[in-house]
Chains A and B, each alone.
Chain A
Amino acid sequence: MVENRRYRNIAAYLVLTIGIVIVAFPVYLAILASTFDVATIINGNMPLVPGPHAAENYYQTLFFGGATSREPVGIMMFNSMIMAMGIAVGKIVISILSAFAVVYFRFPLRMTAFWIIFITLMLPVEVRIYPTYKIVADLGLLDTYTGLILPLIASATGTLLFRQFFMTIPDELLEASKIDGAGAFRFFKDTLIPLSITTIAALFVIQFIYGWNQYLWPLLITTKSSMQTIVIGIKKLTYSQDALAEWNIAMTTAVLAMLPPVLVVVFMQRLFVKGLVETEK
């Protein structure tokens, strides 16, 4: 029995290890490639231990960029950061307010409003991309942060998430607030937001990564290289017509592009768990 269990454990570890290797190896390869010069990578005999050019590659990438993207990756990261933060924060603000309205206020066409928001779930950016582009262009928002952020804020996921959460908060809490002299805004600020921290954190993580990884929309509406995001930058770096692709710079950029989402997940997860443990309705 004991013997048996040990073999089973070994088998489980084996399967898990294979899985991890499959997922992690390309990532490791990218990190590795960011520590060699381009010649070593191109000749196809890249060693499996880090090389000597890390500092040089990262310095070059962050502050000067590659030949084809012509912008320092630092600028691209800054653009991506603004876009991802803008989308995450904007979406949280809009959806928590609209969920608050839908759940706690009785006004004409309340459910109609809710269903209209709900229906937008079926219309992701890709589906409405032409009319959205047209509107953004007409508003003169091409090559602006507003143009990058605004159209991606409009979606129903956050509203639904907050609505479901608000519905689980007992009505007595609202009534107690009323008796305690808290109006709608005070109730929102003093009770709903503190109770929603976990939901806010979850939504932030999801939306930050969603915003950071956007490709199609920034590709359409940014033409200036100073406005391009890091995801677009990677694509441009791996593509060159008459020269060798700068794989060392491209891989360094890829590693840099992975960093913020990873940090967000690692940092927010702590808040996440803390929120889960501490909040009680």
Chain B
Amino acid sequence: MAGVTLDTVRKIYAGNVEAVKGVSLGIKDGSFCVLVGPSGCGKSTLLRMIAGLETISGGAVKIGDRVVNEVEPSDRDIAMVFQNYALYPHMSVYDNMAYGLKNRGTPKPEIEKRVKEAARILAIENFLERKPRQLSGGQRQRVAMGRAIVRKPQVFLFDEPLSNLDAKLRVQMRVEIKRLQRALGVTSIYVTHDQVEAMTLSDQLVVMSGGQIEQVGTPSEVYRRPETRFVATFIGSPPMNILPGKVEGPGRVSVGGQIIAVTDMRDGLAPGTAIEVGLRPEDVQAGTAGASALTMDVDFVEELGATQLFHGKVAGADFVVQASTGQIAADAKSLTLTVEPGNVHLFDPQTTKRLGRV
């Protein structure tokens, strides 16, 4: 087992396009690290550099204590699960899993033992003689994971492995991946653009944007205390509402003339300074008037079953409120909103950084 360390890793493509702009990150041995971000943020490139499928333009990638910049993918002691599974179509499931071991010259009985064991763990023992095309998407996914497991690598790399599955299977496989990773205790790096996957799977969540890391932390840290406006709106569904506001004094901001109390606010902000106020749709209580009340004009309502999403405008900006079904009449034209001071996030409009306590 080994951790992974990235030291100001860069990727510059031909034509001076910088896809990864000096990323530094430490991933602890045995932990589950998820890289999440919108498409084109460099997360896949970063993963492929760790795998050795892309050359590293600058910085160093370390697996354990070994710098692997110049090491061949097969010698890095990693295993990768691809988005489209990349199973060898002409080989049986058994051969797909055994191929890497064969190429390394592992003795036959050992190969058989490991493949059988992986097949047992993944419940694909009955499919070993089949070809990939005779399997369903979920089964192919398991074979792809089996191929990774049999190598007993230091690090698992997952490149959006669930995005080709239907929604129901995705939830099921997500749970299985998590359980498997816990059981095997292998350091895992997982790339996804799905923030639900990112939140549920990770021990360490890395939010990326534009080739840079926006924030690193546990899922709950990232959710509760987003460091930038990007992270605030990217993590959480529906995304956080951002309203234009002004500093009124310590612990007090105003939005559209209404005063809101804030717990987490940087000291020394001059009254009158423009500021962005972030409120999560699920943190807002709608209905009765309260201490820091905002008024929302409702445009329409989305039904999600257990909850309803009220879309409308607050102080001229788009706003969404999530409420339990039945709590508010669905034909309400106007809502009064209250927020706990602890659930208000403040951001600098220029730098987009969080203006919380230092």
A residues apposed to B, CB below 8 Å: 170, 172-173, 175-176, 178-182, 186, 190-191, 194-195, 278-281
Contact = CB atoms under 8 A, between A and B. Distances in A.
Bin the interface of chain B by size.
Answer: 20 to 34
A162 to B, nearest CB: 17
Between A179, A186, A195, the greatest number of chain B beta carbons within 10 A of the residue's beta carbon is seen for A179
B256 interface: no
A179 B75 CA distance: 8
B90 A179 contact: no
Contact of B90 (A170, A172, A182, A194): A194
B100 A179 contact: yes
Contact of A175 (B86, B89, B90): B86
B84 A170 contact: yes
B74 A179 contact: yes
Interface of B: 51-53, 72-75, 78-80, 82-84, 86-90, 99-100, 103-104, 131-133, 147
A181 to B, nearest CB: 3
A181 B103 contact: yes
A281 B86 CA distance: 9
A181 B100 contact: yes
27 contacts: A170-B86, A172-B83, A172-B84, A173-B86, A175-B51, A175-B53, A175-B80, A175-B82, A176-B88, A176-B147, A178-B52, A179-B51, A179-B52, A179-B53, A179-B100, A180-B74, A180-B99, A181-B75, A182-B74, A182-B99, A190-B88, A195-B89, A278-B131, A279-B89, A279-B90, A280-B132, A280-B133
A176 B80 contact: yes
A280 B131 CA distance: 10
B105 to A, nearest CB: 9
Nearest to B80: A179
A280 B90 CA distance: 8
Given A170-B86, A176-B86, 11 more contacts: A170-B84, A176-B80, A176-B147, A179-B74, A179-B78, A179-B100, A180-B99, A182-B99, A195-B90, A280-B132, A281-B89
B53 A180 contact: no
Contacts of B78: 179
Contacts of A176: 80, 82, 86-88, 147
A172 B89 CA distance: 12
Contact of A190 (B73, B75, B99): B99
A275 to B, nearest CB: 10
A170 B83 CA distance: 11
Contacts of B53: 175, 178-179
A170 B75 CA distance: 23
Nearest to B98: A180
Nearest to A193: B90
Nearest to A180: B100
B80 A191 contact: no
B88 A191 contact: yes
Contacts of A178: 52-53, 72-74
Contacts of B99: 180, 182, 190
Given A178-B53, A179-B78, A172 B104 contact: no
A119 B82 CA distance: 38
Contacts of A195: 89-90
A180 B83 CA distance: 17
Contacts of B86: 170, 172-173, 175-176
Nearest to A173: B86
Most buried by A among B52, B72, B89: B89
Contact of B79 (A179, A280, A281): A179
Contacts of A179: 51-53, 73-74, 78-80, 100
A175 B147 CA distance: 14
Greatest chain B CB density within 10 A among A180, A191, A195 is at A180
A181 B76 CA distance: 10
Given A178-B74, A186-B103, A173 B88 contact: yes
Contacts of A190: 88, 99
A240 to B, nearest CB: 55
A36 B87 CA distance: 60
A154 to B, nearest CB: 30
A181 B133 contact: no
A181 B82 contact: no
Nearest to B90: A194
Contacts of B83: 172
Contacts of B74: 178-182
B107 to A, nearest CB: 15
A190 B87 CA distance: 13
B89 A280 contact: yes
A88 B77 CA distance: 43
A180 B153 CA distance: 11
A104 to B, nearest CB: 14
A265 B182 CA distance: 56
Nearest to B100: A180
A81 to B, nearest CB: 30
Nearest to B82: A172
A20 B86 CA distance: 47
Contacts of A279: 89-90
Contacts of A281: 89
Nearest to B83: A172
Contacts of B51: 175, 179
Contacts of B87: 176
Contacts of B88: 173, 176, 190-191
Given A175-B53, A194-B90, A280-B89, A182 B84 contact: no
Contacts of B79: 179
